[in-house]
A = this chain, B = another copy of it.
């Protein structure tokens, strides 16, 4: 049902999204067959294209030019894709969204350079936009994402983390890119500066909620819907919000340790998931997500009425309820 809702929502902007999708494909064309194949493989594995959607919607509050909007949207989606390829190397992941990862289908070296190539294409995609603030914000966003990924490595397989550590990590991992998607969309359409702040903050709060829900789904959803094993975050050594609420539980501790040292059996993984799901940790994490979502909705209220505002509201509602 949620899936349908998302498609309906996107329908209003389907033409513009289709154009962006084409530009995305065009952007990863390359004379090197390996790069082209690896990039297209990645592109076709899909994703929700939330960053392009945020760019489109935010741009609607200014003077909308599809051509410029598409450049920014392509750039941001490419940055996201590139960071996923590198994440898969770090996590040694074989599957993502039901598709083999680049590092699994090819190898780590190809994945590293495919990521580098896509990062570079992200740069050239909006290289000719003549608004200095756009380049500055884009550069700062990339930097923070990279810092976030190193922090993620620092934290990996460490059990002495706090909720504060987690929130800082997902801010850099997800919220900043969504926040910048809104802000860059607004900037490229030269939106009135009084609105830019609300859009940026909306993206940030929605991004925080989105990532928390994502981390909840990693526990509550099925392998099939996730396109990878449920509990992957734990198996990869990442402590997420629901798990932080249960990590000191004496019955849970052995599962945590075995997840982190790679000795968890398949049966134990299933037991562990059942245990977390029934522990109340999910509800606590959901409550934090709801706070962020509330804040996101408050920011939307400040925006001028129109289709874009309506769509942002629907997206916020979708994030709160999504099951995949």
Contact A90 B109 (CB under 8 A): yes
Contact B30 A147 (CB under 8 A): yes
| A305 proximal to B (CB < 8 A) | no
CB distance from A108 to the nearest CB of B (A): 7
Contact A34 B113 (CB under 8 A): no
Q: How far is the CA of A109 from the CA of B147 in the complex (A)?
A: 13
Q: Which of A96-149 contact B (CB under 8 A)?
A: 108-110, 112-117, 119-121, 123-124, 127-130, 132, 135-136, 138-140, 142-143, 145-147, 149
Contact of A113 among B30, B127, B129, B150 (CB under 8 A): B150
For A123, the chain B residues whose CB sits under 8 A away are 123, 138-139, 142-143
Contact of A136 among B128, B136, B147 (CB under 8 A): B128
Would A109 and B143 be within 8 Å (CB), given that A132-B130, A136-B128, A138-B123 are in contact? no
Q: How far is the CA of A147 from the CA of B138 in the complex (A)?
A: 22
For A129, the chain B residues whose CB sits under 8 A away are 132
| A89 proximal to B (CB < 8 A) | yes
CB distance from A324 to the nearest CB of B (A): 29
| A31 proximal to B (CB < 8 A) | yes
CB distance from A36 to the nearest CB of B (A): 10
CB closest chain-B residue, reference A75 = B139
CB closest chain-B residue, reference A141 = B120
| A66 proximal to B (CB < 8 A) | no
Contact of A143 among B120, B135, B140, B143 (CB under 8 A): B120
CB distance from A167 to the nearest CB of B (A): 16
Contact B139 A120 (CB under 8 A): yes
Would A139 and B124 be within 8 Å (CB), given that A32-B150, A35-B150, A119-B119 are in contact? yes
Would A153 and B110 be within 8 Å (CB), given that A30-B147, A143-B123 are in contact? yes
Q: How far is the CA of A143 from the CA of B124 in the complex (A)?
A: 8
Q: Which of A149-163 contact B (CB under 8 A)?
A: 149-151, 153-154
| A173 proximal to B (CB < 8 A) | no
Contact B32 A113 (CB under 8 A): no
Contact B113 A146 (CB under 8 A): yes
CB distance from A231 to the nearest CB of B (A): 22
> Which of A110, A135, A138 has the largest count of B CB atoms less than 10 A from its CB?
A135
> Which of A90, A140, A146 has the largest count of B CB atoms less than 10 A from its CB?
A146
For A154, the chain B residues whose CB sits under 8 A away are 32, 34
CB distance from A30 to the nearest CB of B (A): 7
| A86 proximal to B (CB < 8 A) | yes
CB closest chain-B residue, reference A121 = B143
10 residue pairs bridging A and B, Cβ less than 8 Å apart? A32-B147, A32-B150, A34-B150, A35-B150, A86-B112, A89-B109, A108-B108, A116-B149, A119-B119, A120-B146
Q: Which residues of A contact B (CB under 8 A)?
A: 30-32, 34-35, 86, 89-90, 108-110, 112-117, 119-121, 123-124, 127-130, 132, 135-136, 138-140, 142-143, 145-147, 149-151, 153-154
